[in-house]
Amino acid sequence: MACRISELVVDCVDPDRLAVFWSEVLGYVELGREDDGSIEIGPPGTGFGGPQPTMVLSPSSDPRTGKLRLHIDVSPTDRDQDAELARLLALGARPADVGQDGTENWHVLADPEGNEFCLLRARIPSV
């Protein structure tokens, strides 16, 4: 038996703002809130334990230092990469430079709090 990723936990300054952003990016909905201000988002109708991991946006005032050691990659499901890039930028993502040389077939972006993520080229079916 192997493990499966069930949740991705992201420390953030403004969980509400990131919950809105990532819900729009991933087509997720709010699943719940904890007393500490954490917000869990996930696939509608499935939630925790489904085929996709949920995200927990956890409030933290700790400053971020340096490059993230882990980042999220997303792939378009119903449009090509250019159209998805335009959608993500309209949602509040912004281009990020982590040392790419310009020949990559993916785009490095940052969410509204500066957490880097990549938009891959490959279009994959939605779950």
Report which DSSP code applies to 90: H
Query: Cβ(8)–Cβ(52) under 8 Å?
Result: no
Q: What are the pLDDT digits (tens) for 11-49?
A: 999 999 999 999 999 999 999 999 999 999 999 998 888
Domain architecture of the chain: domains with CATH? 1-61 (3.30.1900.10), 70-127 (3.10.180.10)
Q: What are the pLDDT digits (tens) for 43-89?
A: 999 888 888 999 999 999 988 887 778 899 999 999 999 999 999 99
pTM of the model: 0.92
Residue listed under structure tokens 């509204």: 112
Of the candidates 18, 95, 22, the one whose C-alpha atom is nearest the C-alpha of residue 52 is: 22
